[in-house]
Structure 1
């Protein structure tokens, strides 16, 4: 057995305003971010990077396109983390429009792979986050993109574990479903424990993610073969179509993925939308104008109507269900989206009825609280941009619990593993 970890040097890619860093540091002082990168190619403004520097300092922070950063300039590290850009997988786009790995944003996955491949001292752990649709992308070969990522990591000597987690299922204040991916280098204690375990036991009760976020199986474990030949995967994986072979829980060991469908198992305290609201002193600009109320009600309401495509003149029937209006205060919130900010009426923005009986939008501080950031973490940005940044962020509490579990499982003595080595 190797000695317990006293510190873990972390490199944070696609850092945003530092959600991964907050979660890791809340978990333990063991995690030390030694280098970070945040660059937004679609705008001259680099407000996310500026906020990151304001909160954590400029030292060892890069605001350069990661594709232009030589691997040699990135310090050696024990853990590589990042919520890599997800626009090509986002549920905000219909599935048949999801460009996947060939999309402009999707190719940034290969920057992660490039850093791992070119590092002589490869990180012991890789910890990634993305939208849950990733495991079903693209539409014509569902699961292919995820299979390519898994195979790429395995080729560099990793065992890979994943889980789709809805933060609200475990007491957090927002319904936000994301896939979390953990890769363990073969020389880690966790990898040794995986080899000594039964796959289903690891995924359901003994594993890193299972200890942080308990589940129960609702479908039997199944095996999926994943070729180590990426060209073969690209051309032939799930070519006959149908559902993705990957369930919401799984692990890849070598060329075999073991996957099963699970549901959350949690009976602790639930944080609701009402728990994060400001107690008074909300500026008037967040309240709905009475003259706009009918627009909000229309956008939030159920519809069945004829519409005409402005470009083609084609007439079609449009239907959508109604949304709770105003948002329920006794439950976790809906998912924050990047378009949450601004006063213009919208179907997807949160609207609450506060203690005064008036309807209003959520403030930037409340949006930060839904992702478990400190109050005013994004204060340097405009209100609209602050909402955008939170729509792109993650629930830091999920990172915190997984990070704490990594330390617990990696450092725990395991007689079965000691006897097997």
Structure 2
């Protein structure tokens, strides 16, 4: 939903604006909207905010990890997300439009921060046959290993800003990608940056009614804290364990019910693959249990998480139910279409799980900082 605003501007300003929009290949509306957002961002950055620590939010999506670190007392000083629809949702909830293409961002321009947070995409890594002995400062260090991947941008920002700690999130398959070679390069690159690194595959079903395994990588600066850093993923799951019926609306629009055509197709598709010995097919979520993993393709047919209905075809989850399945609060605004919302929540994180991990990182940093002061 959008509002209309009528502006009166001088002829000279209008001419300059027209020239700019023509050369930039954007509309006057886009240009004015961007200028207003920039003004609001500037005002927000200039506000004095009390916080326990600062962090940046890279590959921010719609801000699930920002919610987690803010809940632990942090203040976000910079965010980056290229997708324009995610930017919309991010702005609606945080009053800040993230920067765009991270590959074009000068790391030195990013504000100093205590913790770097990133849900970086997993891209193929091109290894140039560089020997392990090459140091970080040389052209044949981690830059050769990760150049051309978005993980390289995380590394160059860590190298430039040297945060006290970082937390990276990715799909579970990152560990096995390219027979483990990708993950090996990631760990070696972070080690070369002189950080003690810890990682674990964690399942969101201990916090929300969804089986969702993700790898979490945490690092602490050895230059600041030394080599004897001990960190454990000592999580505190939600109790009692949530189930699907906890996130469902009592009344749902009929548009979310599968059409006869789609329902027949999904049943035939499942039967065909079952006969072939495959496990592919739709998934009816048990109301007293947990669902399959919600994915970004959910908007297509909702097949991985369907809700049984009495006397009707099954239905998809609503965008709000998807938000709850990922642990977002009901106060979280959804300003985009259902299709975009499904993509966004399917790509997001389990917020309470990340909140738990963030709390452990903050607790460890406080202990490390306290120890540094007494030494």
* Deviation per residue, 1:283-310 (Å, 9 max, x gap): 11001233543222223335366xxxxx
Using the alignment, how far apart are the partners of 1:83 and 1:167 within structure 2? 16
Please give the per-residue CA displacement for 1:227-286, whole angstroms capped at 9, x wherever unaligned. Answer: xxxxxxxxxxxxxxxxxxxxxxxxxxxxxxxxxxxxxxx794221111100111x11100
Do structure 1's residue 167 and structure 2's residue 187 form an aligned pair?
no
What SS does the aligned partner of 1:160 have? strand
Write the mapping of 1:56-95 to structure 2, written as runs, cut at 5 A.
56-58=94-96, 61-86=97-122, 88=123
Whether the 8 Å contact between 1:303 and 1:320 is mirrored in structure 2 is yes
Determine which structure has the larger strand proportion and give its number: 1
Instruction: Say which SS state the counterpart of residue 387 (structure 1) adopts.
Output: helix
Residues 33-63 of structure 1 deviation map (CA, whole Å, 9 limit, x = unaligned): 00111113xxxxx1101211121113xx443
Aligned equivalent of 1:9: 54
Deviation track 1:326-385 (CA, whole Å, cap 9, x = no partner) reads 32222111101111114x4x6x43211146765211100011111111237352111011
Secondary structure of the structure 2 residue equivalent to 1:399: helix
- 2:293 matched to which residue of 1? 335
**Partner residue, 1:153:** 190
Whole-angstrom distance in 1 between the partners of 2:309 and 2:245: 9
Most deviating of 74-83 and 326-335: 326-335
- Among 334, 340, 350, the residue aligned to 1:395: 350
Q: 1:33 to 1:191 in 2, by over 3 A?
A: farther
Change (3 A) 1:106 1:190: same
Distance of 1:186 and 1:73 partners within structure 2: 24
Distance of 2:119 and 2:298 partners within structure 1: 20
TM-score (norm 2): 0.73
Match of 2:256 among 286, 291, 299: 286
Alpha-carbon offset, residue 104 of structure 1: 11
CA distance in 1, matches of 2:226, 2:330: 35
Aligned position for 2:267: 297
1:406 has 2:361 as partner: yes
Q: Any idea what the Cα deviations from partners look like across 1:94-113, whole Å, max 9, x if unmatched?
A: xxxxx345799970000011
In structure 2, what is the equivalent of residue 372 of structure 1? 327
- Provide the TM-score with structure 1 as the length reference: 0.66
For residue 178 of structure 1, give the secondary structure of its aligned residue in structure 2. Answer: strand
Residue 314 (structure 1) aligns with: none
Give the secondary structure class of the aligned counterpart of 2:299. Answer: coil
Are the equivalent residues in 1 in contact too, given 2:270–2:280 (CA < 8 A)?
A: yes
1:212 and 2:235 equivalent?
yes
CA gap 1:101/1:48 in 2 versus in 1, 3 angstroms: farther
State the distance in 2 between where 1:392 and 1:108 align: 17
| CA distance, structure 2, for counterparts of residue 366 and residue 56 of structure 1 | 21
Q: Matched residues in 2 for 1:65 and 1:25: separation?
A: 24
Aligned length: 308
Whether the 8 Å CA contact 1:337–1:391 is kept in 2: the answer is yes
Q: Which residue of 1 aligns with 2:92?
A: 54
Q: CA deviation at 1:128?
A: 0.4
Report deviation, 1:12.
0.8
Q: Given that residues 211 and 291 in structure 2 are in contact (C-alpha distance below 8 angstroms), is that contact kept between their aligned partners in structure 1?
A: yes
| 2:298 alignment partner, SS class | coil
Matched, 1:114 2:156: yes
RMSD: 3.1
Contact 1:188–1:410 (CA under 8 A) maintained in structure 2: no
SS at match of 2:240: coil
Measured in 2, the distance between the counterparts of 1:339 and 1:324 equals 13
Note the residue ranges of structure 2 that are not aligned, 5 or more in a row.
1-50, 128-144
Distance 1:413 1:391, change over 3 A: closer
Q: Distance in 1 between matches of 2:146 and 2:314?
A: 39
What 5-or-longer segments of structure 1 have no aligned partner? Answer: 1-5, 41-45, 89-98, 195-206, 214-265, 306-317
